[in-house]
Amino acid sequence: MIEARRARGATQEEVAGYLGCSRPTYIAIEKGDRPAKAEEIIRLAAYFGRSVHELVRPGEPVVGLQAHLRAVVERSQENEKQEILAAVEELQRLAEDYRLLEQMTGAPLRASSPPELTLSGRVDVASMAESAALQERRRLGLGDQPVINLRSTLEWDVGLRIFYWPLPSAIAGMYAYSADVGCCVMVNRKHPAERRRMTMVHEYGHLIVDRYKPGVDFLSPGSRKPANERFAEAFALNFLMPAGSVRQRFNDIVSTTGDFQVADLRRMSHFYFVSLEAMTLRLEQLNLVREGTWVMIKEAGFSPAKAAEILGLAAHPESDDPYPERYKYLAVRAFEQEKISQGQLARFLRCDPVSAREVVRQCLTSPVLGQDGGQDVVQLEFQRSLLPDAS
């Protein structure tokens, strides 16, 4: 902080005046004798022309994820290492920004982490993963139906912080856990929505069996994988496509039509919001279709996108924003409370100021049906209390 102030050419008295505190108070902040509040860090970053990450990095990081993940990345291929390391740094910054927004708005994320499980050489990993997935669905009150708003559900109900970021195509995502911030996940933004959903739940599985072991997950079909990876994969399949639900839906189709065709398969993959490959392999796994069905479909050059168009399957609403929905609302709330400027809002949202204002407009307005049957837009008040005794 001292170096940033000197680079700005500002005196301690000038910075204290900007913060609205006494010079001794600012000196205490600069020396580390008095921890800076979240809103003070934000204002200082703007004053010094630095990012929050740059300002807090010299001291103890708000969230300690980077060091753990860097050790994992060092074992990756040289041609991918720099891109992955850049993503690790961005995950650190996103996690720090998330915490700062929570501190500024007084809205900490309620974590509801699942109980940890221990894998040993004597357990059946697949059965253990299926049991864990069913238990988690019951714990979260999800029943056996598809979870369409998966990213939001995992954040609000489990406490995962899920970010999307461009990663090398061979990487599905990365995972890290910190006691002060919980589970942070970065999913490959370049992958299709169905693949991103599978990755999210895969990392969720890591939270259960190897919570304190950060990792980078590569797409490596066919290779022999360790028990924790096999658990995470099986957990994801069972969580997204519960066996009981899949069997019932399959049997309903066969009993109604007397057959199960490729069109039915495509409809099922759309229903569970998974890839055609994942759906087919799941049916093979449950012995509902012949083994090798996916290989046959793949070799035939079948196009899931074209099939969806022909069958009239509407696309699921899916945002590929780098940050989750809750993060966005916290940023808008901080802006509305005048704790951050428009420029700072744009930095938090990783966009330009014009786009940031559009995010604010979208968050603070709601379309409603007007008396004439048309659509009206209502301005929402973020600060308005909804408690029964509020005036």
| pTM (2 d.p.) | 0.80
DSSP strand E in 143-252: where?
A: 161-165, 171-178, 182-188, 215-218
Residue 297's pLDDT is what?
Answer: 95
Give pLDDT tens digits for 148-187: 999 999 999 999 999 999 998 888 999 988 877 888 999 9
Cα separation, 34 vs 290, in Å, equals 67
Lookup: tokens for 70: 């860097």
Cα separation, 307 vs 302, in Å, equals 8
What is the helix (H) or strand (E) element at residue 365, kind and residue range? Answer: strand 365-369
Residue 374's pLDDT is what?
Answer: 57
Task: Please name the residues in contact with 15: beta carbons below 8 A apart, sequence gap of 6 or more.
Answer: 5, 26, 44, 47
Please, what is the end-to-end C-alpha distance for the chain in angstroms? 44
pLDDT beneath 70: ranges in the chain? 7, 49, 51-54, 56-68, 70-77, 79, 221-223, 366-387, 389-391
Phi, psi (5° rounding) for residue 83?
-65, -40
> For residues 268 and 249, is the Cβ–Cβ distance under 8 A?
yes
Give pLDDT tens digits for 17-64: 888 889 899 888 888 788 888 778 878 877 776 766 667 654 444 455
